[in-house]
Structure 1
Amino acid sequence: MSYAIIGFGAVGQALAHAFARKNIDVAVASRRPPEALAPQARAIKPTVVAKSLRDAVEADTIILAVPFWEHREVAKALPSWGGKTVIDATNTFGVLPEELDGLPSSAFVAKAFTGAKLVKGFNHLVAATLAADPIVEGGHRVVFLSSDDEDAIAPVAALAKQLGFAPVKLGKLNEGGALVHARGRTWGQLIFQDLFKKEQ
C-alpha cells in the first residue's frame, strides 16, 4: 500500500510527522514544486519524499490536506480515481451550506473524485495535536472516520491504527459524519475534541 499527502501546510506536515514516527513511506505534494518541499520533507525524515502532484497521486491512498476549494484542482490530476482511496482531512468553516448543494462537505468533495472511495478522517484535530505522539497516558488519541462506502473505512482504520491512533467509525457522512463537519460558521460537535481510548 502506498500513501501520499496532498497539501504541505500545517496539517500536511503534521500528518507527515505521524507517518515518519512509524517509518511508513509517504509522498508529499502541493502547489509548490517538489524541490521547494524537499528540504522540509527531508528534515522530517527521509521516508517523507516530496513529489510532483502528478507523481504523488499515483499512490493507492491519498490524504487531502489542502484548503477546501483546492480539492477541485487536485481532482483534475487524474481522469479517473477508480481503485484509489481518498481521505478527506479538509474543513469548510466559513463555506456556506448552499455552496455545497446542501451536501455534507465530504460528499461534495467525493463528487470531484470520480470512482474513488472517499473517507472523512483526520480533520477534527488541530495540526499541533495531530503531529504529537498519539499514544498518551496508556491510551491512543482518537480519530473519527466516516464514509458512504462501508468497505472503504476498514483500510483507513487499519492505517490509523498503524499510525498509533484509535479509529472510531461514525458511519455515513450525513449521519455520524455530520459530527465532524463544519457547516457555515459552526463546527460539528466533535471537532477539536481531543479524546483518548484506553487500552483494553
Structure 2
Amino acid sequence: MRIGMLGAGTIAQAIARHAIRHGHEVVLSNSRGPASLAPLVQDLGPLAAAGTPAEAAAADLVVLAVNWPQIPDAVAELPRLNGTVVIDTTNQFASPPPNPKIADLGDLTGSEYVASLLPGARVVKAFNALYAQFIAPDPRHEAGRQVLFLAGDDADAKNTVKRLTAQFGFAPVDLGTLHAGGRLIQLDGPLSALHALKQD
C-alpha cells in the first residue's frame, strides 16, 4: 500500500516507521515543502519519499497528523478525496499544552469536523487516544498487544484501518460511528489517553 502523510511530526513519523517496517511505501508532506523533509526521508530509507500535500493525498490511504489549528490550511488545497480512507489522528487542542484549551465544536466531534473539510473522504478516527510513546514502539508486548481505539462511519474504511494496524501489531477496537465512537476517544472522552493491552 502507498500511504500519504499530511504532517511529518512525531505521530506521523511513528506511523510511517510502522508502515515501512511492513513493506508499505510512505509519502511524507508538510507545510514547508519536500526539501525540508530530505533528512527524514533519508533516515526512513528507500520506501519513503517526500512530496507536496496533494501528492501525499493521492496515495492509497492518507494519514492526517497535524496540529489542530493547522488542519484547515493542511487540507485547503487538496483535490476531492473521493473514497480515500483518511486516518484522522488529530485532537481538538485549540491551544497546546501546558495550558491546553479544547476547541468548542458544539455537537460535532473532532473527526466529524475534519470530515466536513474533506468531502468524499472516508474518515476513520484512530491513534489520537494514545500518547506518542505508546505508538512508536512495537505494540506487541509480553502482556498483550496495545489496544487501538477507532471510529468511523464507513465499515469498509474501518476494516482497512483494522487490517493495517493489526499488521503493525496493534489490537484495533471498533467503537462505532464518528459521532458516538469519536466522542469516546476525543480529548474530553472517557477513553482518551487510556492505554490498555489486549491478551491474545
TM-score by length of 1: 0.89
Tell me the alpha carbon deviations over residues 96-118 of structure 1, each in whole angstroms, 9 at most, x when there is no partner: 32xx2430010011001011111
- Distance, in Å, in 2 between the alignment partners of 1:50 and 1:133 is 24
- Distance, in Å, in 2 between the alignment partners of 1:44 and 1:157 is 24
Residue correspondence of structure 1 range 26-41 to structure 2 within 5 A: 26-41=26-41
Q: Secondary structure at the match of 2:4?
A: strand
Query: Where does structure 2 lack aligned partners over 5 or more consecutive residues?
Result: 94-100
Instruction: Quote the RMSD (CA, aligned, Å).
Output: 1.6
Q: Secondary structure at the match of 1:37?
A: helix
Per the alignment, residue 196 of structure 2 pairs with 195
1:57 touches 1:77 (CA, 8 Å); kept in 2? no
Query: Where does structure 1 lack aligned partners over 5 or more consecutive residues?
Result: none
Displacement of 1:138 in angstroms is: 5.2
Per the alignment, residue 164 of structure 2 pairs with 159
Residue correspondence of structure 1 range 1-200 to structure 2 within 5 A: 1-93=1-93, 94-97=101-104, 100-137=105-142, 139-182=144-187, 187-199=188-200
Q: Percent identity?
A: 37
Displacement of 1:74 in angstroms is: 2.6
1:53 and 1:79, CA in 2 relative to 1: closer, same or farther beyond 3 A? closer
- Distance, in Å, in 1 between the alignment partners of 2:42 and 2:79 is 31
Q: How many residues align?
A: 193
- Distance, in Å, in 1 between the alignment partners of 2:136 and 2:41 is 14
TM-score by length of 2: 0.89
1:136 and 1:188, CA in 2 relative to 1: closer, same or farther beyond 3 A? same
2:2 touches 2:24 (CA, 8 Å); kept in 1? no
- Which stretches of structure 1, 4 residues or more, deviate above 3 A after TM superposition? none
- Distance, in Å, in 2 between the alignment partners of 1:40 and 1:80 is 28
